[in-house]
Amino acid sequence: GAVVSQHPSWVICKSGTSVKIECRSLDFQATTMFWYRQFPKQSLMLMATSNEGSKATYEQGVEKDKFLINHASLTLSTLTVTSAHPEDSSFYICSASTSGSYEQYFGPGTRLTVT
């Protein structure tokens, strides 16, 4: 149980374009989802927290207009990187938790490369 998927697993896009990453909880209802970014040989840095049906809460230094997060249902959250630039190239990982639980279940990650 507690499986989280991400799609796509990797994506290459051109500078200036937007790209959407999906995060799905497959066998449970995810009331809260988290988006992390991980640069090579570095740890996970939390970007934002989203609760189903509410606006996401962004960490300090994360541009909310650049990283659009939508958590429209209890099984799906999306992260859209708008007007992507090469410095946005990174490994994006989502996690999900259920109501009343502090445990987070992580997805397999999405490798974004902006050329």
Residues that bind other proteins (CB under 8 A): 4, 6, 32, 34, 42-46, 49, 91, 93, 95, 97, 102-109, 111
**What is the chain's percent helix, strand, coil content, to nearest 5?**
5, 50, 45
The DSSP secondary-structure symbol of 59 reads P
Q: Which residues are CB-contacts of 61 (< 8 A; sequence separation ≥ 6)?
A: none
**Closer residue to other proteins (CB): 14 or 102:** 102
- Work out how close the CB of 80 gets to other proteins at its nearest, in angstroms, rounded to a whole number: 20
**Closer residue to other proteins (CB): 4 or 81:** 4
**Closer residue to other proteins (CB): 18 or 57:** 57
Q: Which of 89, 90, 87, 68 is nearest to 77 (CA)?
A: 68
- Work out how close the CB of 96 gets to other proteins at its nearest, in angstroms, rounded to a whole number: 11
Which string of DSSP letters, residue by residue, matches 58-79? EPTT--TTTEEEEEEETTEEEE
- Work out how close the CB of 16 gets to other proteins at its nearest, in angstroms, rounded to a whole number: 26
**Closer residue to other proteins (CB): 42 or 54:** 42
- Work out how close the CB of 14 gets to other proteins at its nearest, in angstroms, rounded to a whole number: 23
The DSSP secondary-structure symbol of 27 reads S
